[in-house]
């Protein structure tokens, strides 16, 4: 991978190619990773109660069902729309 990046980025098209790849990673890659990870933690691994208990034990205020709804339902909807 390093050889490919050196070969591509050292040409005259290197900076525009880097700009396109950076824009794609920032606009789509990060949002897709956040969407997939929140869905996996919430519905595949069923890890939300564990995270909620940890937050309640370590945090300064307690989180409840509203936090679960925000992380498992609202956040994926917003990420999926954007």
The DSSP 8-state label assigned to residue 77 in this structure reads H
| Cβ–Cβ under 8 Å, residues 79 and 46 | no
Whether the full predicted model's pTM is greater than 0.75, yes or no, is: no
- CA distances for 20 relative to 49, 65, 79, angstroms: 40, 40, 21
Q: How far apart are CA 79 and CA 82, in angstroms?
A: 5
Segment 7-60, tens digit of pLDDT: 888 888 888 988 998 999 998 999 999 999 999 999 999 999 999 999 999 999
Segment 24-34, tens digit of pLDDT: 999 899 999 99
């Amino acid at each position: 991978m390093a050889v490919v990046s050196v070969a591509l980025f050292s040409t005259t098209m290197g900076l525009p190619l880097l700009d396109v790849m950076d824009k794609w990673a920032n606009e789509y890659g990060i949002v897709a990773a956040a969407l997939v990870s929140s869905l996996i933690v919430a519905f595949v691994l069923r890890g939300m109660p564990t995270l909620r208990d940890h937050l309640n034990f370590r945090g300064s205020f307690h989180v409840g069902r509203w936090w679960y709804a925000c992380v498992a339902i609202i956040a994926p909807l917003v990420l999926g729309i954007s």
